[in-house]
Amino acid sequence: MKQQTLGADCVFEGKGLHTGKISRMTVKPAPENTGILFFRKDLGKDAVVEALAENISSTARSTTISKGEASVSTIEHLMSAFTGMGIDNALVEVDCGEVPILDGSARPYVEAFSKSPLRVQQAARTALVLPREIEVRDDATGAWVKATPADAPSYEVTVDFNSRVLGIQQARWDAGIAYSEEIGPCRTFVFFHEIEYLFRNNLIKGGDVDNAIVIVEHPVTPEQITKLSRLFDKPSLAINESGYLNNLKLHFPNECGRHKLLDLIGDCRLSGGFLNARITAFKPGHTINAKLAKAVRTALQEQQP
Q: How many residues does the chain have?
A: 305
pLDDT tens, residue by residue, 83-103: 999 999 999 999 999 999 999
Q: Give the pLDDT confidence score for residue 167 in this predicted structure.
A: 96
Query: Around Cβ 58, how many Cβ atoms within 10 Å?
Result: 15
C-alpha–C-alpha distance, residues 260 and 157, integer Å: 8
| Residue of 18, 77, 259, 286 marked active site | 286
pLDDT tens, residue by residue, 273-289: 999 999 999 999 999 99
**What separation in angstroms does the CA of 175 have from each of 81, 83, 86, 266, 278?**
14, 11, 10, 15, 12
Q: Look up the CATH superfamily of 2-126.
A: lpxc deacetylase, domain 1 (3.30.230.20)
Share of the chain above pLDDT 70, in %: 96
Amino acid identity, position 126 = T
Q: Name the pTM for this structure.
A: 0.94
pLDDT tens, residue by residue, 229-287: 877 777 778 888 899 998 889 999 999 999 999 999 999 999 999 999 999 999 999 99
Per-residue confidence at 179, pLDDT binned at 50, 70, 90? very high
Query: Has residue 209 got a pLDDT over 80?
Result: no
Name the helix (H) or strand (E) containing 74.
none
What is the mean predicted confidence (pLDDT) over 130-140? 96
Domain ranges of the chain: 2-126
**Residue 13 — φ and ψ, nearest 5°?**
-145, 135
**What separation in angstroms does the CA of 220 have from each of 6, 191, 215, 224, 238?**
46, 12, 11, 6, 10
What is the mean predicted confidence (pLDDT) over 102-120? 96
Q: For residue 23, give every residue at least 6 positions away whose Cβ sits within 8 Å of its Cβ, in sequence order, or none.
A: 13, 14, 15, 16, 94, 95, 96, 98, 99, 100
Query: Has residue 206 got a pLDDT over 60?
Result: no
Q: Give the pLDDT confidence score for residue 224 in this predicted structure.
A: 86
Contact between 55 and 271 under an 8 Å Cβ cutoff? The reply is no
Give, rounded to a whole angstrom, the gap between the first and last alpha carbons of the chain: 24
Catalytic residue at 259?
A: no
